[in-house]
């Protein structure tokens, strides 16, 4: 015998309940995804309130900062001239080096250009920093050299910005200099360089 078909009375309610559960579940997932995306977009959690204030870096209260590099500049005063040399004789002259830059400099051991003349081959040079009232009167060379030779010693001095040092330069004509050097002249360049201490 065929079975009777039973009609459930709450079948519509169950279908309606399932639809409501699915809709609720979709809304909850959508809400969770939206929160996750918003937290990812802002890079984490933040306080609800925040505040900023500029830091005054200048006396006037302005917030602009200017960074400026210092300058390193040397100037030489005076025109050194050595004359009256004779075999075995020494001539001395002084000149002033001034730090005209804005940072301290160590004026180091000089370099010497070699003119390659007979006169320069028979000269010995000396240099020292002379802080006496009358420069070059009591010399004691701390740096000596001959053209084409390796210098010996140093003539270093540290100059603060705006300060000066007086140098004493000496030239000695070797005692073995040939007579052909009578009334001869030569020119050379002595280069002093400054670097930050």
Is the domain of 39 the same as that of 125? Answer: no
User: What is residue 60's predicted lDDT score, i.e. its pLDDT?
Assistant: 53
Number of other CB atoms surrounding residue 184 within 10 Å: 15
Band the pLDDT of 160: cuts 50, 70, 90: very high
| Least confident window among 33-47, 148-162, 176-190 | 33-47
Interatomic CA distance for residues 121 and 171, integer angstroms:
12
Q: Tell me the residue length of the chain.
A: 197
User: Does 57 fall in a domain?
Assistant: no
Is the domain of 78 the same as that of 26? Answer: no
Take residue 13 and report the two structure tokens written for it: 């309610």
Is the domain of 89 the same as that of 161? Answer: yes
| Least confident window among 62-76, 127-141, 142-156, 157-171 | 62-76
Specify the CATH number for the domain of residue 144: 2.60.40
User: What is residue 39's predicted lDDT score, i.e. its pLDDT?
Assistant: 57
User: Does 38 fall in a domain?
Assistant: yes
Band the pLDDT of 158: cuts 50, 70, 90: very high
User: Does 59 fall in a domain?
Assistant: no
User: Does 114 fall in a domain?
Assistant: yes
Specify the 3-state DSSP secondary structure of 127.
strand
Per-residue pLDDT for 24 more than 70? no
Per-residue pLDDT for 108 more than 80? yes
What domain range is 171 assigned to?
74-195
Interatomic CA distance for residues 63 and 166, integer angstroms:
44
Mean pLDDT of 100-122: 87
Specify the number of domains making up the chain.
Answer: 2
**For residues 3 and 81, which has the higher predicted lDDT (pLDDT)?**
81
Nearest Cα to Cα of residue 123 among 177, 178, 184, 84:
177
Band the pLDDT of 55: cuts 50, 70, 90: low
Bridge partners, residue 147, by sequence? none
Q: Give residue-wise pLDDT tens across range 162-193.
A: 999 998 888 899 999 998 888 888 888 888 88
User: Does 1 fall in a domain?
Assistant: no
Is the domain of 173 the same as that of 80? Answer: yes
Is the domain of 122 the same as that of 169? Answer: yes
Is the domain of 175 the same as that of 92? Answer: yes
């Amino acid at each position: 015998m065929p079975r009777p078909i039973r009609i459930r009375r709450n079948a519509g309610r169950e279908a309606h309940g399932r639809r409501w559960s699915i809709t609720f579940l979709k809304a909850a997932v959508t809400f969770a995804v939206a929160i996750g995306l918003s937290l990812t977009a802002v890079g984490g959690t933040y306080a609800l309130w925040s505040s900023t204030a500029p830091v005054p870096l200048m006396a006037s209260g302005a917030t602009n900062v200017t960074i400026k590099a210092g300058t390193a500049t040397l100037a030489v005063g005076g025109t050194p001239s050595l004359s009256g040399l004779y075999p075995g004789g020494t001539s001395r002259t002084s000149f002033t080096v001034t730090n005209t830059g804005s940072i301290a400099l160590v004026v180091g051991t000089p370099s010497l250009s070699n003119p390659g003349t007979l006169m320069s081959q028979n000269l010995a040079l000396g240099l020292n920093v002379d802080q006496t009232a009358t420069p070059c009167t009591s010399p004691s060379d701390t740096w000596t050299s001959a053209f084409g030779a390796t210098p010996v010693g140093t003539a270093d001095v540290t100059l603060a910005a705006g300060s000066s040092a007086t140098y004493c330069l000496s030239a000695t004509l070797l005692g073995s200099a040939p007579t052909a050097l009578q009334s001869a002249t030569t020119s050379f360049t002595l280069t002093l360089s400054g670097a930050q201490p």
